[in-house]
Structure 1
């Protein structure tokens, strides 16, 4: 026997289906609006330099201590990071471009940079700077146990990355002492190889990066010595540094996550 459907029942069924569809559509619209309002689908371009153990490319993936912290913070804030490696000089150029919404990992905050960049809350605090020298040159550094004494010796060449800051207090000592400086538009790995080759006399580094830096450059630790510096300030705070095009609301979400975590605090 052939089943039949009454016109009234068909109308009720169509009405119920339409109502269910309308509710589903409204729910989807609300979900999309909420996601947009909270930035849950945001993608942010994040630049980093090659400076192990803080930032490095591992296979085809960005890694390192500060990259991993940044990835975790951004994802908790509902932001998908797209990491890209490039030299520090190019990073600074990208950040100063008025139309590019981009951030970079692990920079020091200075008054000069605050003129053209936005900063998150701190993501890390370094240990105090040390000088990395060739062990064969230790006699040259016999009486050089402070930044001031190093910078006062015009015969010793400091190697540094172009556009790189050691923090405001050390930068001020550099300006005051006016030592011989070689600035490299490259990577920390290239710089330490220049130290090994005798083209510069010393580098200023964070103690936590020495072992990884030498291993990454293929250099034997026995060839180098680390000198403590009496007047080195307490470790610098590192931040996410962002272009002015990054929305304030996005930076607030990042800072909300950092504030909930046991991160170092500004004085």
Structure 2
């Protein structure tokens, strides 16, 4: 009997231990399941729906509209407008300073969400959605020295040396200029250097945008510099089509911009038009 009682007691102990192991296993599995569900829920917000609360906004050196400060911050007119619109739309902007060629690449592959840039850029056709809101107009001009002929027709560039800003694509037109066979293109590292090269007669015209050039025309000798209008373009927010929420972001930006305009916090929207174009301007880049 003692042996039998001992066997029964052992069996009960094993059974009790088995129950404890089962309870532990069930609790552990339940904990793991809850943890996995929490992770999945978190991932479903950040990844599948693309509902990020931080937007990566590209920008390039284009003073006074956009520039990189010495402290590494994004600054400028379009930067501040973009910051207001992004925050009004319920997001947090993360500005990323890039050369223009890298901006095109990152818009195509979705590394950045948006860029405040020129509309109707051939290299970005089919790669971006442009906002309906167009917060500013950008004027491209041909700068020349007093006493020399102004640029009245784009064909007047033939046989001339044109100074351009290194890294600028001029909405894709730089390639056309280089391949024309009738125009000699030379680069300057920045706007100030381009004007100085013009004054040294190292070129006949500087092809550059009005706002950044007028900002640096501060030296007494700059008074001999004259301007011919070439092309006016509107700027908008360009959203990467690699982002599945591009259309939603565009709608949110447009709505946010309109609310800010209605409250008097931002200027009215510029009309959606191609603006002024000098006679003879290449048809593909109008």
Shorter-chain TM-score category?
0.5 to 0.7
Q: Partner residue of 1:257?
A: 256
Structure 1: tracts of 5 or more residues without a match = 1-32
Task: Give CA-to-partner distance per residue, 1:65-84, whole Å, 9 cap, x none.
Answer: 11111111111111211112
Partner residue of 2:116? 105
Cα distance in 1, alignment partners of residues 193 and 239 from structure 2: 26
| 1:151/1:174 contact within 8 Å kept | no
Relative to 1, partners in 2 of residues 1:122 and 1:174: Cα closer, same or farther, differing over 3 Å?
farther
CA distance in 2, matches of 1:54, 1:205: 14
Q: Which residue number in structure 1 is paired with residue 211 of structure 2?
A: 208
SS at match of 2:134: strand
Asked which structure has the greater RCO (Cα within 8 Å, sep 6+), the reply is 1
In the alignment, does 2:76 pair up with 1:64?
Answer: yes
* 1:7-86 correspondence to structure 2 within 5 Å: 42-60=53-71, 61-86=73-98
Alignment of 1:1-267 (within 5 A): 42-60=53-71, 61-96=73-108, 98-126=109-137, 128-133=139-144, 135=145, 138-139=146-147, 141-142=148-149, 144-152=150-158, 154-162=159-167, 164-166=169-171, 179-182=183-186, 188=191, 191-192=194-195, 194-195=197-198, 199-214=202-217, 220=219, 222-223=221-222, 224-229=224-229, 232-233=230-231, 235-246=232-243, 247=245, 248-260=247-259, 261=261, 262-267=268-273
Question: Are the counterparts in 2 of residues 155 and 180 from structure 1 also a CA contact under 8 Å?
Answer: yes
Three-state SS of the structure 2 residue aligned to 1:222 is helix
- Could you give the per-residue CA deviations for residues 38-96 of structure 1, whole angstroms, max 9, x where no partner exists? 95x61111111112111112343211111111111111111211112222122222222
SS of residue matched to 1:131: strand
Displacement of 1:145 after TM fit? 3.1
Q: Which structure has the larger Rg? A: 2
Scaled by the length of structure 1, the TM-score of the pair is 0.65
Deviations 1:137-180 (A, max 9, x none): x44x32x332424323x232241444523588x99899889532
Distance of 2:215 and 2:56 partners within structure 1: 26
Distance across 2 between alignment mates of 1:193 and 1:244? 40
RMSD of aligned Cα (Å): 3.6
Distance 1:157 1:210, change over 3 A: closer
CA distance in 2, matches of 1:81, 1:259: 19
Give distance in 2, aligned partners of 1:110 and 1:100. 19
TM-score (norm 2): 0.61
Corresponding residue of 1:23 = none
Corresponding residue of 2:20 = none
